[in-house]
Each structure stands twice: as structure tokens, then as C-alpha cells.
Chains A and B, each alone.
Chain A
């Protein structure tokens, strides 16, 4: 009996199996990843639109419940993160910005001080580092809280009480985190600029405070204020929407919550960087 007959006799079809070439495997892997990405993007877009619709149509409904929840979210994501933000901003100011000031002075490029500070701290590092900190601190908390609530049937209980989960759970987080990231970004920028100057002062760099301030104000434009407010608030809104989506939008079992948190953080980082790139384009074409 030859090999094929013995395989058929034992029901073993391994002998007939022709492994796919590596190019097929690669294409399959890329294709399934792409489809997964599109499905997630569609789900996120739908969730964001539903949330926007609820905010617009129900903002003033049940304000006894939702407004305190917004303040609470602002405190949890904003006020309680303030010590960490101040620590980070001072560290960044002393380590990076102070050295930048000293290098610029030593190369005689002190006139670039203002534009460099504004480009590095106000436009880029301030909003990005702040949102990363809020994401690590409050974004993961969102997924865990909401994912656990969903897995334990609390959403069903809300629906049974005719309380819209998006209105009660998501809207306060989205608004609260948007406001929190905006406020923290302002503190972060102030902390970094002040501590950067302190470093320069301590290392005997001849830079007067009024000269430093003058350079900063000259480098800042009206667009910077508008973009800063928009960008930092949108960062907060985006991470809130993504983390709430991963906590709420799909049925979760308790053991799936950590994986959902990891996905939410990764997608939030990508979304914030893409949004940042969009704002860089605005600066380029403005």
C-alpha cells in the first residue's frame, strides 16, 4: 500500500496538505490585519458619532446626575494628575529646555530662543506629553472601570432603569477629559518654561526674565493659542472616546479587560500622533 492509500485508510489527510507559500501567508496576515483595522475604525467612528449625537441632544438632560459626573471626571483626570504634571514639566524644563537655552546662548543663537521654545514646548511636547500621561493614568482606568461594569451586567441595569449608558457614563468622561487635558497642558507649558528659565538662571546664563518673556511673546501667534486649545481638548476627547469604546462597545468578559486596555492605549497613541500630524499640516499651510 502506498503512502496516499495508507493516509486515506487512517483518515489522515496530512499527506495531501500543501503548505501555503510564505508570500500567501504574508498577504493573508496583512489582509486580516487591514480588515481588523477597518472594522475597528468603523466601530470607533460610529461610537464617536453616537456620543456626539447624545452630547448635542441630551446635554442638559438629567443635569443633577451628569454635571457632577463631569466635574468629578475633571477632578479625577485633571486635578489629581496635577502633581505628576508639575513634576514632569519641571523635569523637562530643567533637563531639556535649560540645556537648549544654554546651547543656544553658547552658539550666539539666543534670538532663536523664543521660536524654539514655542515650537518645542507649546506646539508639540506640551500637549503630547500631557495627553500621554492622562492616557496612562485615566484612559486605562476608563477601560477597566467600564469593561468591568459591562462584564458584570451594570449596563443592562442602566438600560433597565432607562438611563442611557452613553449619556451617563461616556458623556461626562469625554467632556471632563477634554477639559482636563486642556487645563493640564497649560500647567505643563508654564511649568516647563519657568523651570527652563530657572535652569538658565542657576547656570549663570546671562538672560534677563523680561528678555526671555519678550522672546516668548514675540514667537507666539494667535494661531498658537487657537491650535493649542483645539489640539489639547481634542486629544482629551479622542482618548476618552477610544477608551470608552473599548470598555463599553463590545461585550467583554472579565478576563478580556486587560487586553482591551492594551488595545485602547495603543490606538489612542496612534490617534493622538495622527491628530498632531494634522495640526502640523495646519501650521505648514497657515
Chain B
């Protein structure tokens, strides 16, 4: 099996003229002509209205769907790759779904342990200790034995994050992580993502590459470094966060909640 090249500074994601398919119907285009490059350690936020293609873009970036057209390279490898040939590379990407998407037949602890148990040969190490550390980090220790259905949405989302982190990915894709959360949880998420981006705490000093899809850019204004929006089936990179306030695009202003919501 191919060994991951952890020290590589090559772009982790490179898309050139890519057409992204819909997650639920991969033959139908959701976004056209996407040109995007994500370098290791970058912190991206992609804004867009509901059903603008954010989840579709993240799914394709995670290797769950294939590009309909164009060139998509993940860790320098042209995608898609059939079978388990690129498993080691794909395990370097973690994905956090909007609703957590936990497995309801498993407890929270079992949900988090499942990827480690399944990929034991690749994950190695003492996975009980890793699960315990992640549970503590996400504040889920007291709910470890509960089934997901007994937890609120906010805690399910945290469990989804814990499950995605357990394989120590280099890139974390987060689909609308702050959706439906109260300000305490929002603050917790922003702080944790800051720490992951800075490489503090859990990951032994290795900054994690973060890509967040969001319907509201306000919480991210002073956090993320790179911004983009999805509009009219196009991907538009906006640049760094100091430039964000100077943009006059109506959608950007709307996502920054500076104008009334579009009808």
C-alpha cells in the first residue's frame, strides 16, 4: 500500500476546470469550471446559499464522488482512483457532515473507535487511548456510552468531528459545522478549529488544513485565511480575510449579513 508523503508541501487539492457532480445524482453537474488550489496548512471557508453546491464540492474533494470533467488532483494524485490503491492517501482526509451522520446502531465511543478498528493495520497504536483522548478533547467523555439518538444535535456534531479526527487526518472538510448551534457551541467549534489550524494540542504541532462550507461568513471573518463563494454554479475565490470587507458582491454582503436575505 502506498505510504503517505506527510512532509510534502505540494498542494493537497488542485482542481482545474472541474465540473462537480451532484452528491445525490453524480451525473448531474452542480458546479462548473472550478479552479481551486489548497496548500497544506491553509484555512478555507467556502460560502454559499442553501443548495449552492457546497456539500457537493466537499464530497468530491473527499473523493466520494468523481469529477464530471476537468483535472482533480488530491495529494498530487489524479482522481478518481479505483479500488483501495490510494487508501493511505484518502485516509489523510477527514470529513465532518452537517448532521454528524453518526451510525445509530453504535454508541458514541463505538462510532469514534470504528475507523480505528477498521483500519487497524494502518492506524496502529493504542486505539483505546486515542479514543479516550478524542472524547476528552471534544467534551464527550460523559456521553461515550450513549447512542446518538439520545444526544442533541450539537453533541452529535461534536461526535462527528471526533470520529473524523480519530484517524489524524491532514485535511479536514467540514460541512456547515456551525449550523443550528447556540453561541456556546459556536465558540467551542471556532476555538477548536483555530487550535487544529495552528497545530496545537492533539496533532503534535502539525497544522491541519481546514476547508469549511458555511452559509454565514460572519463567524469566520477573523478566523479563516482564505475565502470563496459558490454562486450561479461557479466557484469564486475571494482572497484573504482583510480583503473580504472591501468586496461589494451582493452575495458576499449577504453572507456577511450586511444586507437583507435574498428573496
Binding site for B on A (CB under 8 A): 62, 64-65, 145, 148-149, 152-154, 156-163, 168, 251
Binding site for A on B (CB under 8 A): 23-24, 59, 62, 64, 87, 90-91, 94-95, 97, 99, 101-105, 114-115, 117-120, 160, 163-164, 167
Q: Contact: A157 with B115, CB < 8 Å?
A: no
Q: Contact: B120 with A64, CB < 8 Å?
A: yes
CB distance from B128 to the nearest CB of A (A): 13
Q: Contact: A153 with B101, CB < 8 Å?
A: yes
Q: Contact: A154 with B90, CB < 8 Å?
A: no
With A148-B104, A154-B103, A157-B103 given, name 11 new contacts (CB 8 A): A153-B101, A154-B104, A156-B23, A156-B59, A156-B64, A156-B97, A157-B101, A157-B160, A160-B62, A162-B119, A251-B24
CB distance from B125 to the nearest CB of A (A): 14
CB distance from B83 to the nearest CB of A (A): 10
Known: A160-B64, A161-B163, A251-B24. A168 touches B101 (CB 8 A): no
Known: A62-B118, A65-B117, A160-B62. A153 touches B103 (CB 8 A): no
Chain A residues with CB below 8 A from B103, complex form: 149, 154, 157-158
**Complex formed: what's the CA distance from A145 to B103 in Å?**
11
Known: A64-B120, A251-B24. A161 touches B104 (CB 8 A): no
Chain B residues with CB below 8 A from A145, complex form: 105
Instruction: Pick from A62, A152, A153, A251: contact of B117, CB below 8 A.
Output: A62
Q: Contact: B114 with A153, CB < 8 Å?
A: no
Instruction: Pick from A62, A65, A148, A157: contact of B102, CB below 8 A.
Output: A157
Q: How many contacting A-B pairs (Cβ < 8 A)?
A: 59
Instruction: Pick from B105, B115, B160: contact of A163, CB below 8 A.
Output: B115
Question: Can you sample 25 A-B contacts with CB below 8 Å?
Answer: A62-B117, A62-B120, A64-B118, A64-B120, A65-B118, A148-B104, A149-B103, A153-B101, A154-B101, A154-B103, A156-B64, A156-B97, A157-B97, A157-B101, A157-B163, A159-B64, A160-B62, A160-B95, A160-B97, A161-B115, A161-B118, A161-B167, A162-B91, A162-B115, A163-B115
Chain A residues with CB below 8 A from B120, complex form: 62, 64
CB distance from B255 to the nearest CB of A (A): 25
CB distance from B92 to the nearest CB of A (A): 10
Tell me the nearest residue of chain B to A157, going by C-beta.
B101
Chain A residues with CB below 8 A from B117, complex form: 62, 64-65
Chain B residues with CB below 8 A from A153, complex form: 97, 99, 101
Q: Is the interface of A mostly helix, strand, loop or mixed?
A: helix
Known: A156-B59, A156-B64, A251-B24. A163 touches B118 (CB 8 A): yes
Chain B residues with CB below 8 A from A159, complex form: 64
Tell me the nearest residue of chain A to B86, going by C-beta.
A162
**Complex formed: what's the CA distance from A152 to B160 in Å?**
14
CB distance from B166 to the nearest CB of A (A): 9
Q: Contact: A65 with B104, CB < 8 Å?
A: no
Chain A residues with CB below 8 A from B104, complex form: 148-149, 152, 154
Tell me the nearest residue of chain B to A58, going by C-beta.
B84
Chain B residues with CB below 8 A from A149, complex form: 103-104
Chain A residues with CB below 8 A from B102, complex form: 154, 157
**Complex formed: what's the CA distance from A168 to B59 in Å?**
21
Chain A residues with CB below 8 A from B167, complex form: 161
**Complex formed: what's the CA distance from A157 to B111 in Å?**
11
Chain A residues with CB below 8 A from B115, complex form: 161-163
**Complex formed: what's the CA distance from A62 to B64 in Å?**
21
**Complex formed: what's the CA distance from A152 to B99 in Å?**
9
**Complex formed: what's the CA distance from A160 to B163 in Å?**
11
Chain A residues with CB below 8 A from B163, complex form: 157, 161
**Complex formed: what's the CA distance from A64 to B105 in Å?**
17
CB distance from A237 to the nearest CB of B (A): 22
Which of A156, A161, A168 has most chain B Cβ within 10 Å? Answer: A161
**Complex formed: what's the CA distance from A238 to B76 in Å?**
43
**Complex formed: what's the CA distance from A65 to B87 in Å?**
18
Q: Contact: A156 with B87, CB < 8 Å?
A: no
Q: Contact: B90 with A162, CB < 8 Å?
A: yes
Tell me the nearest residue of chain B to A68, going by C-beta.
B117
**Complex formed: what's the CA distance from A162 to B169 in Å?**
12
Chain B residues with CB below 8 A from A158, complex form: 103
Complex A-B, nearest 6 residue pairs according to Cβ-Cβ distance, in ascending order: A157-B101, A160-B95, A153-B101, A161-B115, A62-B118, A64-B117
Chain A residues with CB below 8 A from B24, complex form: 251
Which of B95, B102, B103, B115 has most chain A Cβ within 10 Å? Answer: B103
CB distance from A16 to the nearest CB of B (A): 36
Tell me the nearest residue of chain A to B93, going by C-beta.
A160
Which of A62, A156, A160 has most chain B Cβ within 10 Å? Answer: A160
Chain A residues with CB below 8 A from B94, complex form: 160
Chain B residues with CB below 8 A from A163, complex form: 114-115, 118
**Complex formed: what's the CA distance from A138 to B24 in Å?**
29
Tell me the nearest residue of chain B to A251, going by C-beta.
B24
Chain B residues with CB below 8 A from A157, complex form: 95, 97, 101-103, 160, 163
**Complex formed: what's the CA distance from A145 to B104 in Å?**
9
